[in-house]
Amino acid sequence: MNKNKEQLLNKRYKAEQRFRLYGQSAIFMALLFLTIFIFKIFSTGYSAFQKTWLIVPVNFDAELMMLDENPTKQDIEDADYYEIALQSMWNLDPNANEDQQNQLKRMVSYFFEREIKQELLKDPNLLGKTKEVYLTASDDLDQVFKGNYPRDLPEDQRRVSDYQLKIFDQLVANGKVESKFNISFFTNADSREAELAGIASSFMGSIFSILVCLMIAFPVAVLAAIYLEEFAPKNRFTDFIEVNINNLAAVPSIVFGLLGLGVLLAIFQLPRSTPLVGGITLSLMTLPTIIIAARASLKAVPPSIREAALAMGASRMQTTMHHTVPLSMPGTLSGTIIGLAQALGETAPLILIGMVAFVNTIPGSPMDPAASLPVQIYIWAESAERGFVEKVSACIMVLLGFLIIMNLFAQIIRHKFEKKWS
Amino acid sequence: MIKIKAKDVDVFYGKKQALFNISLDIEENQVTALIGPSGCGKSTFLRCLNRMNDVIDICSVKGEILINDFNINDKGCDVVRLREKIGMVFQKPNPFPKTLYENVSYGPTIHGIAQSKQEMDEIVETSLKKAALWEEVKDRLHEPGTGLSGGQQQRLCIARAISVRPEVILMDEPCSALDPIATAQIEELIDELKKEHTIIIVTHSMAQAARVSQNTGFFHLGQLIEHGSTDKIFKNPDNKKTQDYITGRFG
């Protein structure tokens, strides 16, 4: 009898140990996947924050630029830079034939003459002189320099020719290739040229969308939650509404995209591809999340507080506004931030309302066309050029950073205000 | 003098009847204790007196409750005005999660009683003094009321209730969450408060009822079995059930 008991006890201890082991291995797996994921993104993406420049001597030849002596500022603005830009690239190899000259030109970014123009605008005294100018390397050479490009492929499968590589290697040997922090990744809008593409447009697009979403979803959701929780009679109809709010939270986001497309664009004729429409669509999606969070935190306010206020002769409205709502705000706000973070990462509905369009201007208001960060990731991930691969990861890093900051903020709000009254 | 006159009060929770035909007179400036076993309806009756049962959707009250000869169950009765006249202290101390000052000044603020900051300061001070809390908290009026001990919190709730100078104070087992010392303080306070207010207290402790009250009503299963002066109920009750309950044979 006693022995049986001991066996049973041992069995119970063993079962507990096994259970702990399962739990620990589950957590280990989760951490492992997370680490791999983050490592992969960082190792691919970090190089996007560096950009390769070729240092090329440029002769600011007034004649080639069709400039008279003593040109005005406007003249310099309007001058033709293409010729001197071409010349300075061709000068890298004076013996180049026509085909090779073409290849030389393609070693730098498509809009390289603009960089030369900037240089002269900065210092008009350069006219007639020669200066070494930093030119953005083409995205392929950029990848070569970062070691991301397989140089051992047969030439006809590469976008970089043997000749270009030869010249590039010479430049590297002479110290005429430099890598610098890629400011333009943050200041440029999207571009077809990987080396020029940046996240400014999609970043602003995301900010505007989130602001529109916040301004619509927050007041509507909070009012709905307060009414349902504090004022509405509890009957079949309100039960029905409650069930359907929960259902709404589970509706796939692409359905909201279709709604935005069918109603906002087709019926209300709002401007396509804009953060305004994106924000409204996202707010439909965020509404149930905020309503549920707000109702939960209203429910969490102890009924004794309501009774205390009512017994003091406060009206229902005063009880709600003076006591219940302020006490529920931390929970509501952190729910709102989490809802917004979800909206920030949403892609599908934005694609449907046209925020997937190629936008190479930075939006100044919610009425201007824009992309958004997750859609930008999608656009770049679809692009063929090797230069976009690192940009995708870099953009993911920016988006994740954004989300982490928002969630951190939600946590801080919750903790700070919960401690105060407990 | 009779302050409150309840006539044939029935209370229903949905289809279930919780109180049957209660008729009870409450004397002015005296303490009336309502005793009885758990679930007998004494708290329900107390909550009829300031219409706190309105909050519960399924609860309905029938019958007349006359306060100063005015039926509070009439359609024309404004609950906000009613609850200004009839304060309430709950079983569990429930100060607002705000400062002590804001707790006491809340009632006067919403009812527009104080004309100036100075007047409000005075109201807060006198209320806290009457609640015998002033000496302990006068240096920390702007700290959260939830930081006080249980007994202090309950006295804060009493100060909050008397800040609007109600005619009647309802107390729903005000000492059940407190230790004996805090209980003694509250009981002393009740004795002091009855000079200016009519007090109705629901209690589980017969000793407490005997100590603080002048009149007692005994409830059982939703019925008012017996009521009268505390002396009589405790020493020479008419009803056998009352006798059994008081001597501790059931309940």
Residues A178 and A213 in one domain: no
In a domain, B13, yes or no: yes
Please indicate, yes or no, if residue B145 is contained in any of the structural domains: yes
* Residues A154 and A259 grouped into a single domain: no
Give the model's confidence band at B121: pLDDT under 50 very low, under 70 low, under 90 confident, else very high.
very high
pLDDT digits (tens, 9 = 90+) for B180-233: 888 998 999 999 999 999 999 999 888 899 999 999 999 999 999 999 999 999
Are A228 and A241 contacting, i.e. CB atoms less than 8 angstroms apart? yes
d(CA A146, CA A52): 8
B97/A305 Cβ within 8 A: yes
Check if B48 contacts A (Cβ < 8 Å).
Answer: no
Residue B10 domain-assigned? yes
State the total domains in chain B: 1
Domain-located, residue A191: no
For residue A385, report the phi and psi dihedrals to the nearest 5 degrees: -60, 140
Contacts of A311 in chain B (CB under 8 A): 50, 52, 83, 87-88, 90, 161
Domain boundary among A182, A213, A239: A182
pLDDT of residue A422: 42
Looking at the domain assignment, is residue A94 inside a domain? yes
Which residue among B55, B94, B110 sits closest to A305, beta carbon to beta carbon? B94
With a threshold of 0.95, tell me whether the complex ipTM lies above it.
Answer: no
H helices within B59-162, ranges in order? 79-85, 100-111, 117-130, 134-137, 150-162
First and final CA of chain A: distance in angstroms?
Answer: 51
For each of chain A's 422 residues, which pLDDT tens digit applies? 678 888 999 999 999 999 999 999 999 999 999 999 999 999 988 889 999 999 999 888 888 888 877 778 888 888 888 888 888 899 888 888 989 888 888 899 888 888 888 888 888 888 888 888 899 999 888 988 888 888 888 888 888 888 998 999 999 999 899 999 999 899 988 888 888 889 999 999 999 999 999 999 999 999 999 999 999 888 899 999 999 999 998 899 999 999 999 999 989 998 888 999 999 999 999 999 999 999 999 999 999 999 999 999 999 999 999 999 999 999 999 999 999 999 999 999 999 988 888 888 888 888 898 989 999 999 999 988 888 989 999 999 999 999 999 999 888 888 887 655 54
B134 in A contact zone (CB under 8 Å): no
Look at residue A344 and tell me if it is in a domain: yes
Sequence-distant (≥ 6) Cβ neighbours of residue A399 within 8 angstroms? A344, A345, A373, A374, A377
CA-based nearest distance B244→chain A, Å: 34
Q: Is the pLDDT of residue B33 over 90?
A: yes
For A53, counting Cβ atoms within 10 Å of its Cβ (0-12 exposed, 13-18 middle, 19+ buried), the class is buried
Kindly determine whether residue A311 and residue B57, on different chains, have CB atoms separated by under 8 Å: no
Q: Does residue A194 sit within a domain?
A: no
Residues of B in contact with A310 (CB under 8 A): 52, 55, 83
Question: B102: nearest CA in chain A?
Answer: A322
Structure tokens at A408: 């951190």
* Rounded distance between C-alpha atoms, residue A19 and residue A208, angstroms: 48
Residue B215, domain CATH: 3.40.50.300
d(CA A284, CA A297): 21
User: Could you tell me the residue range of the domain that residue B112 belongs to?
Assistant: 2-246
The reply to whether A266 and A236 lie within a common domain is yes
Q: Distance of CA A228 to CAs A170, A171, A232, A338, Å?
A: 73, 70, 5, 21
- Pair (A398, A263) in one structural domain: yes
Of B84, B94, B161, the CB nearest to A307: B94
What residue numbers bound the domain in which A9 lies? 2-46
Reading the block at residue A126, the tokens are 């350069």
Assigned domain for B76 exists: yes
A302, A310, A322 ranked by CB distance to B83: nearest: A310
CB pair distance less than 8 Å for A311 and B111? no
CATH for A365: 1.10.3720.10
Torsion of CA A158, A160, A164, A165, to 10 degrees: -70
Nearest chain A residue to B110 by CA distance is A314
Calculate the average pLDDT of chain B.
90
- Give the span between the Cα atoms of B154 and A244, in whole angstroms: 42
Q: What SS3 state is found at A193?
A: coil
> B96 vs A313: CB contact, 8 Å cut-off?
no
Residues A283 and A255 in one domain: yes
CA distance to partner chain A, nearest, from residue B54 (Å): 10
- How does pLDDT run across B47-86, given as a tens digit for each residue? 999 999 888 888 899 999 999 888 998 888 898 999 999 9
pTM over 0.90: no
Residue A299 identity (one-letter amino acid)? K
Is residue A189 one of the residues assigned to a domain?
no
Interface test mutation site (partner B, options A238, A312, A317, max chain B beta carbons within 10 A): A312
Asked if residue B108 is part of any domain, the answer here is yes
Instruction: Kindly identify which residue of chain B lies nearest to residue A233, measuring between CA atoms.
Output: B57
Residue B126 lies in a domain: yes
Q: Do B83 and A315 touch (CB under 8 A)?
A: no
Structure tokens at A397: 């890093």
pLDDT tens, position by position, B153-192: 999 999 999 999 999 999 999 988 888 888 998 999 999 9
Chain B nearest-CA distance from A314, in A, is: 6
Q: Chain A residues with CB inside 8 Å of B106's CB?
A: 309, 312, 314, 322
Tokens of A204: 């602003």
Tally the domains of chain A. 3
Query: Reduced to 3 DSSP states, what percent helix, strand and coil does chain A have, rounded to the nearest 5?
Result: 65, 5, 25
Residue B158 falls inside a structural domain = yes
Q: Which residue from B50, B63, B1, B66 is spatially nearest to B168, judged by alpha carbons?
A: B50
What residue in A sits closest to B81 (Cα-Cα)? Answer: A313
Residue with tokens 């999608």: A378
Binary contact (B57, A233; C-beta < 8 A): yes
Query: Is residue B251 domain-resident?
Result: no
Residues of A in contact with B143 (CB under 8 A): none
Claim to verify: residue A349 and residue A333 sit in the same structural domain: yes
Phi/psi region, residue B41 (left: phi>0; alpha: psi -120 to 50; beta: rest), is left
Q: Are residues A154 and A261 in the same domain?
A: no
- Residue A255 sits in the same domain as residue A315: yes
Place of tokens 């039960």: A239
Same domain, A236 and A292: yes
In angstroms, the separation between the Cα of residue A412 and the nearest Cα of chain B is 20
Which amino acid does the sequence have at A162? Answer: D
Rounded Cα distance between A4 and A163, Å, is: 85
Nearest-10 Cα torsion for A263, A264, A266, A268 = 110
- CB contacts under 8 A, B 162-201 vs A, are 164
Residues A75 and A207 in one domain: no
Helices vs. strands in chain B: H and E counts, helices first: 10, 10
Residues A293 and A399 in one domain: yes
Q: Would the CB atoms of A311 and B107 count as touching at under 8 Å?
A: no
- The verdict on residue A393 lying in a domain is yes
Chain A partners within 8 Å of B80 (Cβ): 313-315
Q: Do A33 and A178 share a domain, yes or no?
A: no
Please count the other Cβ atoms lying within 10 Å of the Cβ belonging to residue B13.
14
Strands B86-89 and B168-172: parallel
